[in-house]
Amino acid sequence: MTIGIIGSGAMGAGIAQVVAQAGHTVRLLDQHMGTLQKAVAGIQKSLDKLVEKGKLSAEAAAATAKLLHPTSDIHDFADCDLVIEAIVEDLAVKQQLFRELEMVVGPDCILASNTSSLSLASIAAACKRPERFVGIHFFNPAPVMQLVEVIPAVQTRAGLAEEVRDMVASWGKRPVLAKDTPGFIVNRVARPFYGEAIRLLEEGVADVATIDWALTELGGFRMGPFALMDFIGHDVNYRVTESVFTAFFFDPRFKPSFTQKRLFEAGYFGRKTGRGFYDYT
């Protein structure tokens, strides 16, 4: 199969690695050449690490790297059987991308979005053939995280979500089907997790490090809420919270916080910018 990935940021690069390791030819595109080059270098580094750790043979790593085809030209996606979009979480931008993509790909190419919080129905609405559109939602980092949510839109043809679920399982992942509702499964449960942690901080109940420490050391969580928000990035995480809140008709359970909004506005996105709730400089 030939699989196209659009957007080579945190998610797109990871997804590209997953599908290349599964033996598929990958076309990887980003609007920024520098990001694309960084993604290819990052995947190579990740493959080298797997070889070092003895989790992948040197031959398999070399074969995987050969399957990656970075490009800046969307016309190179003409031979794709599946295209997964992992660009900025903005409905209008995603819709425009799918309009352009449909002018390039064949009629049977499956179109997918990795959106965290937008409705699949609203993205599919921009497509001429919305019946071949589906959500494939990976978790960060995609090569490591087993779970993938597969979400049919109301327009998706019967049976496609199940086909895609089986395909994703063949890549070594553990997919689940979910309905097209805000945040799907994990991001919906995660909103109150982050929101309540920020409320604890705002009320002065405990500081960032103490809350993270309590939840990881004693609560059994892999990462504390603040370390996790910094890892995901406040640009992505804040936008998802805002989107879920709006999509749930402003249900106060999902209300965003000014504390995170200010970090977002200041460009303190977390690890990727060196500062968030923690200082990484």
Question: Which positions are annotated as active-site residues?
Answer: 116, 137, 149, 187
> In Å, how far are 6, 103, 224, 280 from 186, measured between CA atoms?
23, 33, 16, 27
Taking CB under 6 A as the rule, does residue 89 contact ligand NAD?
yes
CB under 6 A: which stretch of 28-36, 164-172, 177-185, 207-215 binds ligand NAD?
28-36
- Over the range 203-223, which residues count as b (16 or more CB within 10 Å of their CB) and which as e? eeeeebeebbeebbeeeeeee
**Cβ-proximal residue to ligand NAD, closest one:** 9
Give the binding range for ligand NAD (CB under 6 A) out of 8-16, 120-128, 161-169, 199-207.
Answer: 8-16
Measured distance CA(61)–CA(47) in Å, rounded:
6
Residue 147 identity (one-letter amino acid): L
**Pick 61 or 264: Cβ nearer ligand NAD:** 264
Q: How far is the CB of 87 from ligand NAD (least distance, A)?
A: 4
User: What does the block give as tokens for 118?
Assistant: 């937008």
Binding ligand NAD (rule: CB under 6 A), the pick from 2, 5, 9, 215 is 9
Chain residues 138-157 in contact with ligand NAD, contact rule CB under 6 A: 138-140
Nearest to 260 by CA among 199, 193, 182: 199
Write b or e for each residue in 96-130: b if 16 or more Cβ atoms lie within 10 A of its Cβ, otherwise e: ebbeebbebbeeebbbbbbbbbbbbbebbbbbeeb
Per CB under 6 A, the list member of 3, 5, 11, 109 interacting with ligand NAD is 11
Segment near ligand NAD (CB under 6 A); pick from 114-122, 154-162, 163-171, 188-196: 114-122
Binding site for ligand NAD (CB under 6 A): 6-12, 29-32, 35, 86-89, 93, 97, 114-116, 137-140, 232, 236
